[in-house]
Amino acid sequence: MNPPLATLAVIVAAYLIGSVSFAVAVSKLFGLPDPHSYGSGNPGATNVLRTGNKAAALLTLLGDGAKGFAAVVIAYHLGVSWGDASLATAGAALAVFVGHLYPIFHRFAGGKGVSTAAGITFGLSWQLGLAALVVWVAVAFAFRFSSLAAIVAAIATPPLGFYFLGNWPEAWALIPIALLLVWRHRANIRKLLAGNEAKIGA
């Protein structure tokens, strides 16, 4: 397989990996209702936590993060073998994120992407992942809004990406990822502006 086709195959595979919803899979494993059917309807760890099952929520969080991490790490190592690691990694990062947001296996009804984005950043660079995590924790601690912390961390990640990764496709891929993540939080933004957003622990 020539490099362009190999890179395309990696991108398609990353999208399919992203389309695996751990919220749905873990809920079935624990005998919980489909996360699309209650709460926010968002198939993510926060919504799964609304069932009161902390173990299921934690597994969802770890699973969604792991698929983002695995997709970019595998893409990088495969890309090295045909001399196009940077493009393959960048493509996989964006594809696995889009897969989580719009999963083909779940009628394109996916999550907001916070955990998967975190996994992607750590997969690209542990320094980048740690920096983004510090931003999230700082905002969450200061304002106690999980959504606000996610939005600010998303906005901060692209410039952090250029700092840690340099002017490479992987850093550029973080821009659409950040924009999509903020877009998926548009309902939360409206609630924040209206003063109706629930705080962490509420």
Write the pLDDT tens digit of every residue in 84-122. Answer: 899 999 999 999 999 999 999 988 989 999 999 999 999
The mean pLDDT of 67-76, rounded to a whole number, is: 97
User: Where in the chain are the domains?
Assistant: 3-194
Place of tokens 């809920």: 27
Q: Which residues contact 156 (CB under 8 A, 6 or more apart)?
A: 131, 132, 135
| pTM of the shown model | 0.94
- The one-letter amino acid at 61: L
Burial level of 155, CB count in 10 A (0-12/13-18/19+)? middle
